[in-house]
Amino acid sequence: MAAIAPNLASAADEMIQTKYACEGGKTLDVVYVGDYAVMLQMDELVPLKRAKSASGVRYISASKNYTYELWGKGNDMNLSTHDGGKEQTVLSSCKP
């Protein structure tokens, strides 16, 4: 029964749905639940998990199938991908 308790606690986390308006008129939809998030990117749901950040907030792909990183400080979020070891900005200056 002890192994079930942590799952019950995470189920009680508040779900926060945010639609961001990004540079270039693009949008980013993200649902946050505890230390996890799910975003809609290129018509796919992409799971993310919170990662260490020196300042602000940072989420990285929770699946090996994706290389996304969602990061930001205050109300300003950015989305990048790490293809072939190179960071490429996907969306920038995203605000709720």
Query: Is the confidence at residue 68, as pLDDT, over 60?
Result: yes
Number of domains in the chain: 1
Question: What pLDDT, on a 0 to 100 scale, did the predictor assign at position 1?
Answer: 34
Query: In this prediction, what percent of the chain has a pLDDT beyond 70?
Result: 88
Domain membership flag for residue 10: no
CATH of the domain at 79: 2.40.128.200
Question: What pLDDT, on a 0 to 100 scale, did the predictor assign at position 9?
Answer: 38
Query: Is the confidence at residue 84, as pLDDT, over 90?
Result: no
- pLDDT, averaged across the chain: 88
Domain membership flag for residue 43: yes
Taking the model in full, what pTM does it have?
A: 0.82
Domain with 86, as residue range(s), is: 15-94
Query: What whole-number distance in Å separates Cα of residue 72 and Cα of residue 1?
Result: 38
Any bridge partners for residue 27, and if so which? 21
Are 93 and 76 in contact by the 8 Å Cβ rule? The answer is yes
